[in-house]
């Protein structure tokens, strides 16, 4: 009995070493099936939107009975998409530019100096990224309405800067830290002031980081629903808010033209996401407050 057991032991261990046991392989298969099932549903959901936006009638069949592009023309006119796209471009452009102008110098100071209260400042920058927009958005919208800023495009821009400015700071700190401080010291020795050193030495060295941060801000602002929704008026809606109102008032207009608008929105975000992914890792889009 005892002999038999000791005899079995090495055999089993060798099998573990050579190939994985059946249980482990079943488990791996189950995990991949789960991932596949998730991606299948995700793809089918997106395909539903695209198919519906090109379909004439789609009731009791797997696919629409005919194909047409007229929902796009309808959506373009009915939802005044040209105006909405213009507002979106203005808001996103201003947010990207301003968050860079405020965020990058702050990130430089945070990376290079150790000052009293630095931990508190760091916490101050982390909070707008951790607290969900709808929680702080309601008091913020109240303040912006009292300052007569909400409802205008400036209110929307200010609201969107709240999460993006700290986001730029947190993204940029590691990029600044990896630049050798002696490069800056050399520039100072040769007589460059802070402004000149920034523009001629730091910005060129930081270009990859700034590009990554700006693209991430861009993608996040195009898709930022809650803050824009709470602060926008009829003339300052971005694409995602207009899409919300269109879905909310479903039945007023044909569902296919709402889906046509959804496709326009998807193209807008996906183009920028694809560009952004050439410079950043996908995990950076969520990795907002690691450690």
Partner 1 sequence: MSSAGMPSLRLRLRNRGLDGVTLLVLPCVLFVVALFVYPFLYGLVLSFQPKDGGPLANYRAFFADPYLYDTIGKTLLIAVPATLLNVVLSVPVAMRVRLMRHQKILTTILVIPITLGTVLVAEGLLTYLGPRGWVNRFLVDFGLISAPIRLVHNYWGVMLSLVISGFPFTFLLTLSYVSGIDPALENAGRMLGARATARFYRIILPLLAPGLAITLALSFVQAFSVFPSAVLLGAPAGPTRVISIAAYQAAFEQYDYSLASAIAMIMALVQIVIVVGLLAARGLVFRGPASGGKG
**Cα–Cα distance measured from residue 238 to residue 221, given in angstroms and rounded to the nearest whole number:** 10
How far is residue 174 from each of residues 111, 149, 159, 189, 191, measured CA to CA in Å? 8, 35, 26, 25, 27
What ranges in the chain are assigned the alpha helix state H?
2-18, 22-54, 70-78, 81-112, 118-130, 133-146, 153-177, 181-189, 194-197, 203-223, 226-231, 239-248, 255-277, 283-286
**Cα–Cα distance measured from residue 111 to residue 173, given in angstroms and rounded to the nearest whole number:** 5
- Nearest residue (CB) to partner 1, 192 versus 277: 277
**Cα–Cα distance measured from residue 178 to residue 191, given in angstroms and rounded to the nearest whole number:** 23
Q: Find the binding residues for partner 1 in span 188-227 (CB under 8 A).
A: 194, 219, 223-226
Binder of partner 1 out of 1, 3, 62, 191 (CB under 8 A): 62
Binder of partner 1 out of 1, 2, 22, 60 (CB under 8 A): 60
Sign of CA dihedral 105, 279, 261, 43: negative
Does 279 bind partner 1 (CB under 8 A)? Our answer is: no
From the list 73-81, 88-96, 109-117, 174-182, the region that binds partner 1 by CB under 8 A is 109-117
- Nearest residue (CB) to partner 1, 97 versus 127: 127
Q: Least Å distance between CB 53 and partner 1?
A: 10
Binder of partner 1 out of 64, 68, 154, 244 (CB under 8 A): 244
Binder of partner 1 out of 7, 116, 191, 251 (CB under 8 A): 116
On whether the CB atoms of residues 249 and 234 are closer than 8 A, the answer is no
Does 32 bind partner 1 (CB under 8 A)? Our answer is: yes
Q: Find the binding residues for partner 1 in span 70-89 (CB under 8 A).
A: none
CB atoms within 10 A of CB 225: 14
Q: Least Å distance between CB 240 and partner 1?
A: 5
**Cα–Cα distance measured from residue 255 to residue 247, given in angstroms and rounded to the nearest whole number:** 8
- Nearest residue (CB) to partner 1, 114 versus 180: 114
How many residues does this entry show for the chain?
291
- Nearest residue (CB) to partner 1, 179 versus 223: 223
Q: Find the binding residues for partner 1 in span 121-180 (CB under 8 A).
A: 121, 124-125, 127-128, 130-136, 138-143, 158-159, 161-162, 165-166, 169
- Nearest residue (CB) to partner 1, 179 versus 285: 285
Q: Least Å distance between CB 275 and partner 1?
A: 12
Binder of partner 1 out of 69, 174, 208, 287 (CB under 8 A): 287
* CB within 8 Å of 276: residues ≥ 6 apart: 212, 215, 216, 218, 219, 285
Q: Least Å distance between CB 155 and partner 1?
A: 11
Q: Least Å distance between CB 85 and partner 1?
A: 16
Burial classification of residue 151, based on how many CB atoms lie within 10 Å of its CB (0-12 exposed, 13-18 middle, 19 or more buried): middle
Q: Least Å distance between CB 179 and partner 1?
A: 14
From the list 66-74, 79-87, 118-126, 205-213, the region that binds partner 1 by CB under 8 A is 118-126
How many whole angstroms from its chain centre is CA 38?
Answer: 21
């Amino acid at each position: 009995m005892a002999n038999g057991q000791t005899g079995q032991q090495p055999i089993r261990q060798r099998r573990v070493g050579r190939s994985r046991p059946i249980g482990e392989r079943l488990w791996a298969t189950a995990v991949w099936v789960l991932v596949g099932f998730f991606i299948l549903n995700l793809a089918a959901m997106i395909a539903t939107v695209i198919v519906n936006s090109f379909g004439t009638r789609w009731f009791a069949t797997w696919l629409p009975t005919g194909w047409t592009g007229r929902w796009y023309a309808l959506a373009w006119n009915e939802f005044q998409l040209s105006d909405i796209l213009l507002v979106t471009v203005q808001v996103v452009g201003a947010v990207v530019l301003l968050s860079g102008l405020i965020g990058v110098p702050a990130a430089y100071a945070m990376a290079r100096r150790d000052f009293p209260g630095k931990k508190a400042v760091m916490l101050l920058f982390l909070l707008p990224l951790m607290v969900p927009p709808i929680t702080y958005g309601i008091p913020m919208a109240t303040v912006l309405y009292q300052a007569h800023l909400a409802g205008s495009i400036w209110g929307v821009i200010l609201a969107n800067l709240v999460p993006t400015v700290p986001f730029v700071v947190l993204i940029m700190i590691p990029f600044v830290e990896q630049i050798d401080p002696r490069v800056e010291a050399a520039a100072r020795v040769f007589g460059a002031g802070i402004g000149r050193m920034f523009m001629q030495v730091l910005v060129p060295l930081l270009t990859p980081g700034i590009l990554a941060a700006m693209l991430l801000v861009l993608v996040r602002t195009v898709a930022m629903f809650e803050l824009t929704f709470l602060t926008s008026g009829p003339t300052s809606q971005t694409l995602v808010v207009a899409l919300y109102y269109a879905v909310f008032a479903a039945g007023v207009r044909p569902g296919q033209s709402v889906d046509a608008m959804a496709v326009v929105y998807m193209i807008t975000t996906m183009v920028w996401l694809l560009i952004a992914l050439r410079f950043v890792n996908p995990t950076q889009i969520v990795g907002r407050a690691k450690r």
